[in-house]
Amino acid sequence: MRSCSTMPEPDDRGDDSQGRAMKAHFVESQDERAHRLSDTVRRAIAGRAFAGAEAARVEMPAAAPELASRIAANLEAAAPGTARPVIEGVAAEIARTGSGLAASLLRRDTEVADLSARDLSYMEAVIRVWDRPAWFVRGDAPVPPQAVSSDAEAFWVALIAHATAMLRDTCGRVGCILKQEDGARTPIGTAWMIGDHTIVTNAHVALHLAHRRLNLPPADPRDRWRLRHGIAGLFDPAFENRAGAGAPISISDVLYVEASQDPDIAIFRLDREAAAPAPLALALADAGPAIDTNLFVVGHPIADANDDPNVKIVFGRLDGTKRFSPGRLTARLSPSVVSHDCSTTNGSSGSPVVDFATMQAIGLHYFGKPGERNEAVLFAALAEHPAVVRSLAGDWLV
């Protein structure tokens, strides 16, 4: 995702590393965003979120007070020094305005073209809080709220309850990538097990730890990519909220970085002397998943560099600890790229996009946050990609 970090100066061995800021391959226009949100509202409200109320008579979600309370809790966690009455007032306005617009769209009193950028922002925040949560993970298990406030939330809680053991197994194979420099450790993104002591993440995340040495031979088996000097990389599958000190695994080498970031993929090797989780299964079938497939993303979101208020509304305080975000596959943007509506932001880059039914990773998330369309590279389109083939076979030859 976008980063405020600056690139180190190239050393005297030559370095052509690109910027670390993620770019959407399919930039969403304001009109596309409006129609996407409108469709999401109609499906969410009609299907689950407003269950028990006649669509034509809906004014606000039945759980609007609970919605405002959750928004307030997230805002307070993100900005703990703000006066409580101010936070409650802002949360109430967002809940009232966003849910009111959603109901108005459902009744067709409001058209998509009538919505301002502020309207869209409030409405998307409300949708994500009630229907696309980002729950903490503790002990490798998602932690939903004790009080379920809507049928939409109950739907995800039921799926989690049905697959608790498999979810623990899946979440345990995902970890935070930490950059250690001058004694300080900083979360920079997400990675997960793709092979024996081998992790996959995004190329734009990899640039924090690796650079390309132009003075090496063009036939170099790693395409001249090497770990940066003076920076250590760590992979921590236990980087969770309220967790004690974990035992992160050292990243020992860089095996592959897609310089073009298309697809946005990179592979690192972990210290072979350390115990590492088993690989996560990949969905490599030709067809790929269908639209509306139930999915989830496990990642390590970090604070938004642009101080986006929508990020605070949805996530609250962001410290890089593990989150579980359910959602659905929403579109096929190209033969190799899909969009999904799981809640993500900075630091989610490199997360697996997992099919709830099969527990296989169908994609590698690389772009998106509240207010922007998520994008992920589809593994069914990467079945023959050298990074995937070599990772699964374990024959990197370096």
- The pLDDT of residue 137: 96
Residues 6+ apart with CB under 8 A from 44: 127, 130, 131, 152
- The pLDDT of residue 37: 78
**How far is residue 311's CA from residue 315's CA, in Å, rounded to a whole number?**
6
Mean pLDDT of 197-214: 97
Q: What Rg do the C-alpha atoms of the chain give, in angstroms? A: 21
- The pLDDT of residue 257: 98
Mean pLDDT of 8-21: 45
- The pLDDT of residue 21: 65
- The pLDDT of residue 296: 98
- The pLDDT of residue 150: 65
Residue 30, CA distances (Å) to 1, 19, 26, 120, 147 in order: 20, 26, 13, 9, 35
Most confident region among 63-77, 110-124, 278-292, 375-389 by mean pLDDT? 375-389
Residues 6+ apart with CB under 8 A from 224: 212, 213, 214, 216, 217, 218
**Mean residue pLDDT across the chain:** 85
- The pLDDT of residue 27: 86
- Give pLDDT tens digits for 66-93: 788 888 888 898 888 899 989 888 888 8
- The pLDDT of residue 236: 98
Of 56-70, 78-92, 133-147, 174-188, the least confident: 56-70
- The pLDDT of residue 117: 78
- The pLDDT of residue 46: 53
State yes or no: pLDDT of 121 exceeds 60. yes
Residue 3 binned pLDDT confidence (cut-offs 50, 70, 90): very low
- The pLDDT of residue 170: 98
- The pLDDT of residue 43: 66
| 100 secondary structure, DSSP code | H
- The pLDDT of residue 10: 34
Q: Are 90 and 74 in contact (CB under 8 A)?
A: no
For the whole model, what pTM was predicted?
0.86
Mean pLDDT of 306-321: 85
**How far is residue 318's CA from residue 300's CA, in Å, rounded to a whole number?**
9
Most confident region among 272-276, 305-309, 313-317 by mean pLDDT? 272-276
* Higher-scoring residue by pLDDT: 370, 303: 303
- The pLDDT of residue 71: 87
Of 32-36, 39-43, 186-190, the least confident: 39-43
Angle at 278 between CA 275 and CA 279, to 5 degrees: 135
State yes or no: pLDDT of 11 exceeds 60. no
- The pLDDT of residue 240: 96
**How far is residue 73's CA from residue 68's CA, in Å, rounded to a whole number?**
9
Q: Cis (ω within 30 of 0) for the bond into 263?
A: yes
Place of tokens 């993500």: 344
Q: Which two tokens stand for residue 290?
A: 């269908």
Residue 303 binned pLDDT confidence (cut-offs 50, 70, 90): confident
Q: Nearest CA to 340 among 314, 377, 303?
A: 377
| 170 secondary structure, DSSP code | H
- Give pLDDT tens digits for 339-358: 999 999 999 999 999 999 99
Residue 54 binned pLDDT confidence (cut-offs 50, 70, 90): very low
Backbone angles phi, psi at 227, to 5 degrees: -70, 145
Strand pairing partners for 250? Answer: 234
Q: What percent of the chain has pLDDT over 90?
A: 54
Q: Which two tokens stand for residue 81?
A: 């020094």
Mean pLDDT of 230-255: 92
State yes or no: pLDDT of 56 exceeds 70. no
State yes or no: pLDDT of 6 exceeds 90. no
Give the domains, in start order, of the chain with CATH numbers: 30-131 (no CATH), 133-398 (2.40.10.120)
Backbone angles phi, psi at 297, to 5 degrees: -120, 135
Mean pLDDT of 277-306: 91
Residue 33 binned pLDDT confidence (cut-offs 50, 70, 90): confident
**How far is residue 218's CA from residue 211's CA, in Å, rounded to a whole number?**
15
**How far is residue 101's CA from residue 120's CA, in Å, rounded to a whole number?**
9
